[in-house]
Amino acid sequence: MRRWGLLAKEALTQTLTFARFFCLFHVTNHYLWSPTLVFGPSMLPTLNLTGDVILAEYVSHRVGRLGPGDIVFVRSPVDPNKIVTKRIVGVEGDRVTYFKPRNGDSCHTVVVPKGHVWIQGDNLYASRDSRQFGPVPYGLIEGKAFFRVWPPNSFGSLG
């Protein structure tokens, strides 16, 4: 019986160590920075089609230091299980002019409402962004991309 007790105690200690490590790892990945894999055509030529490993940081959007030109990770307003990578074009109060490539040559202008941002992919011809689903509430922003780690020939900071 004592052997089982010791075994249980050992298992509990190992589990606790694992849980503690997991917690530290998780808090870092959620509140500081983490590597992320991004892929898709909507941010060409900035990000590759077949995939980049990018360092995302999770501090800027909490202290409100995001502005036009930042590449951000946003939870999609049309599919809450998906996170998309786009660039902020306008913040609240900005007047944004855009066009939809397949809808003729007409330009539209909107004023970004309070508490929202206007995001667009760098590749306007193959990107579903605010031109389709409108300005996105600021609360949906998950993080900001600031450094690219892979592929090694484009290692370096992202604008």
Binding residues for other proteins, rule: CB under 8 A, are 19-20, 23-24, 26-27, 75-80, 113-116, 136-140
The two three-digit tokens of residue 121, written as one number: 């992919």
- Number of Cβ within a 10 Å radius of residue 84: 24
Per the residue annotation, which of 42, 127, 130, 144 is the catalytic one?
A: 42
We find the least distance from the C-beta atom of residue 9 to other proteins, in angstroms, to be 17
Q: Which residues are 159's β-sheet partners?
A: none
Burial (CB < 10 A; 0-12, 13-18, 19+), residue 41, is middle
We find the least distance from the C-beta atom of residue 58 to other proteins, in angstroms, to be 13
Cis link prior to 135 (omega < 30° from 0)?
A: no
We find the least distance from the C-beta atom of residue 81 to other proteins, in angstroms, to be 8
In the complex with other proteins, which residue's Cβ is closer, 56 or 140?
A: 140
Positions marked catalytic: 42, 86
